[in-house]
Structure 1
Amino acid sequence: MKLHLFSQNTHIQQSITITGSKSESNRLLLLQALFPQLSIENVSNSDDACVMDEGLSIKEGVVDIHHAGTAMRFLTAFFAMQEGRSVILTGSKRMKERPIGILVDALRQLGADISFTQDEGYPPLQIEGRRLDESRVVMAANVSSQYISALLLIASRLPNGLELILEGDITSVPYIEMTLSLLNEIGVDTSFNGNIIRVMPLMNEPESKKLVVESDWSSASYFYSIVSICQLGTQVRLSSYKSNSLQGDSVLASIYQQFGVTTEFEDNQVVLTKTSEKLQLHFEYDLTHAPDIAQTIAVSCFALGIGCSLSGLHTLKIKETDRLEALKVELSKLGAQIDVTNSELFLKPSLTIKSEVTIDTYNDHRMAMAFAPLALKVPLYINDAEVVSKSYPDFWRDMEQIGFLISEQ
């Protein structure tokens, strides 16, 4: 599906409801599979969460998670400790190019029986579920936090819990802390001191408990971008959000203050208001702990005519696509001067934006949504626009609600 986007409504006053965080939902779905007495409200309606839920219910045979990277990592750990269950865990062509050897090696340290059915270090995986009696794992710290969270989520169901020793600088600490906080919420004892994380086995079953998922901050990022591009006084209300969020992407509030957007919390809503047009000429930020918002920030800077230097982006090379190269190609189409390395992005200030450009999305939901706000500046096209369903199925409907003119080509 190819969409044409344009909007002349640069003074928006709207309220949008966003479903639960994909990150929290997937963690809680796995915990619910381990502890069925838990109930969950406001679960994400994203493709990733649906695939995760379906995968957890499959007893044996082939489990196909398509493009869902989180599900691949979490289900690898889950099935490894399911005694007597045998599955082949596979996914899309791109998923088979995304490395998972580091997680498999870590699970093997615990005693897991996992083999690669095609290329060494990559899906598909043959997983023979068994009792994991070991409790100590040593692994590199600068890997995807999803590898680490996958181990932590199953740890309280291991006979001896888990001691995880991370070597080097840790990536995406907020996502690790989110996982530990959710474990604490159901009664699991944990500690995170320096580079050592410990999770105690849960000796007694947790009581019946209802857990409410906070709405997704990554999804909120596109509205931050929109408000930053709009006129003074523009205001968008989003629900349901907490000022003490577990999500690393909540750093959006402080980042976008530098783009003239203030954030206030009122009655379970976050209120975004454009209050200033005085912007610095160059924005620098280390996104090691929130890499998923890099695309949104880069596009915002381009729309605002300011340069940026973004670092801490090494994990973007192994996402749904190589996001750094994809950003370089697509922003260049629009007239941007941009360079990328394996972990950094450098964008020069630009005062012109080419119109009627077609943006390719590379099977990556964030490419489609990050570029959409540019339609406030120039008409543009988005290829394979349906890819947004991976994390935010209602995105195009919500864009129309705030005044974007969208037509299918």
Structure 2
Amino acid sequence: MNAHPLYLQVMPLRKLSGRAMIPSSKPETQRAILAATLARGRSLVFNDLRCVETTTMKEACRAIGAVIDEKDGFLEIHGVGRDIKADRRVIDALGSGLVFRVFTALTCFSSSAAVITGDTILRNRVMLPLFDALDQLGAHIECIGDEGKAPVVNWGGGLKGGRCVLPGNVSSQFITAVMFAAPLAEQVTEIIVEGEILSISYIRQTVDTLRRAGIRVEVSDDFSRIEVHPGEYQPAEYRIYGDFTSSSYLIGAATLFQGTTILENINSNSLQGERAIIDVVKALGLTVEFDDHNNRLLLTNPHAQITGEFEFDASDFPNIVPTLAAIGAHVKGTFRVVGGSITRLHKSPRIKAMVSELAKLGVDIKALFKDGVYDGFEIHGKGEDYAGDVALSSWGDHRIFMSLFVASLRCRRPNLLDGYLDVNCSFPDFFEQFALLGVHAREVVQALQEDDALALQEG
């Protein structure tokens, strides 16, 4: 035996029902931690999400001087205001694009040089548009690996402010990074967003967080022009609600089986673009009832088999594109998704990954392209359950894993999935919550024999 890769064996279901808990919003938690760090004084963040990527954000904030205490059900944060001190530290963003991008901008105001880095995947992600924008505002940033990519050293010296230009179709995190740093600049910062603007909902969340922290922000109706005025972040209290991207896996599973599912820690009042998962499942024929007083969602699926012709534009909710592929694989008819081009720049080329892996299951799926890049997919479903008994790859991406997990639930035989430990990035109790709905999975070791035969041994 040459290798012993760990897999998760996902057991098929005949019925799914019960009650589960949605994790709190990762982007809202991260933004609240940032705003609290940049305020001088005590802020509270209630119902925060605790996962790898929010821990990474907290460690980065602590590296510039914030004191963050994790209490039962909330964070108590004593921020640094304008007194950012990196003290020549290395800030490791691990796999978080948001942490790397925001701290590349914030360390412009550090009293000493700072190195900002990340893992292998992050070091291959696009960063140059952010570096160029910060350069236009007066930054002194130097790439110490490949040009235009992480890692970087930020030599500090502050930002003058003024005008900068960013593309709208690469990453909303570039815009968020500049917006969080802009109040500390000497003068008003004007961000011009060029071309098609994708993931506007994330920009909207940043605007909301800054305004709650007392920062003056002006935004054009189409989000092509954003003005952030110099100001002092004010201490505040933030309450975080459920994450609609994380909810999409549980909601997606509920679309595959007739029955009723109750989800807790979710509220209809949300700026998250991925709230669109609700509109999707309504279009598929599910009944959706929110109880906002108790932060609860009741889902009823009257259909043993969803049938029809469906099309969705995911340009403002790209994080659920993989989930939509998992749902669409089990729809009888045509299921088409467009507007997902930005996902090619995420942790994996997500459309390519889902098309490749679902095809292994026998799904009739083809990629759709726009201007030569992956933009979506089209599925033609026959309404028959897939055989299963396939090894599927997560492509190193937790969202691909969770989507393939959902797609595997209605196969006739168990599938094997790699990358299952990565759920800690955003949904640490993923397996516990699915278990509450009757889903079973187990770790296995797949051993590669010298003759390339496969043997399974329970782990």
Q: Under a length normalisation based on structure 1, what TM-score does the superposition of the two structures give? A: 0.94
Matches within 5 A, 1:202-351: 202=231, 206=234, 208-231=235-258, 233-239=259-265, 241-266=266-291, 267-276=294-303, 279-340=306-367, 341=369, 342=373, 343-350=375-382, 351=384
For 1:275 and 1:85, the matched residues in 2 are separated by: 61
For 1:31 and 1:248, the matched residues in 2 are separated by: 21
Deviations 1:285-304 (A, max 9, x none): 11111100000011101023
Which sits farther off after the overlay, 362-371 or 29-38? 29-38
CA contact (8 A) 2:306 2:332 kept: no
* Counterpart residue identity of residue 66, structure 1: L
For 2:287 and 2:227, the matched residues in 1 are separated by: 38
CA contact (8 A) 2:262 2:296 kept: no
For 2:170 and 2:16, the matched residues in 1 are separated by: 42
Matched with 1:99 is 126
Matches within 5 A, 1:5-404: 5-14=10-19, 16-37=20-41, 38-58=43-63, 59=86, 60-80=88-108, 82-193=109-220, 194=222, 195-202=224-231, 206=234, 208-231=235-258, 233-239=259-265, 241-266=266-291, 267-276=294-303, 279-340=306-367, 341=369, 342=373, 343-350=375-382, 351-378=384-411, 379-404=414-439
How many angstroms does 1:36 deviate by? 4.0
How many angstroms does 1:276 deviate by? 4.4
| Structure 2: gaps of 5 or more residues | 1-5, 64-85, 445-459
Which of 1 and 2 has greater Rg?
2
- The 3 A distance-change label for structure 1 pair 397 and 279 is closer
CA contact (8 A) 2:90 2:116 kept: yes
For 1:317 and 1:255, the matched residues in 2 are separated by: 22
Matched with 2:81 is none
CA contact (8 A) 2:183 2:228 kept: yes
CA contact (8 A) 2:36 2:236 kept: no
How many angstroms does 1:392 deviate by? 0.7
Deviations 1:323-358 (A, max 9, x none): 121112101110012222322222222434131111
For 1:260 and 1:381, the matched residues in 2 are separated by: 30
Which of 443, 449, 453 aligns to 1:408? It is 443
For 2:241 and 2:177, the matched residues in 1 are separated by: 20
| Structure 1: gaps of 5 or more residues | none
| Identity value in percent | 27
How many angstroms does 1:317 deviate by? 1.0
Deviations 1:75-99 (A, max 9, x none): 211222x232322211111111101
- The 3 A distance-change label for structure 1 pair 135 and 277 is farther
CA contact (8 A) 2:182 2:229 kept: yes
Matched with 2:66 is none
Task: Give the helix-richer structure, 1 or 2.
Answer: 1
For 1:205 and 1:224, the matched residues in 2 are separated by: 37
How many angstroms does 1:363 deviate by? 1.5
How many angstroms does 1:33 deviate by? 1.5
* Counterpart residue identity of residue 260, structure 2: T
CA contact (8 A) 2:257 2:304 kept: no
Q: Under a length normalisation based on structure 2, what TM-score does the superposition of the two structures give? A: 0.84
How many angstroms does 1:70 deviate by? 1.8
For 1:148 and 1:312, the matched residues in 2 are separated by: 20
CA contact (8 A) 1:339 1:345 kept: yes
For 2:318 and 2:340, the matched residues in 1 are separated by: 6
For 2:114 and 2:333, the matched residues in 1 are separated by: 50
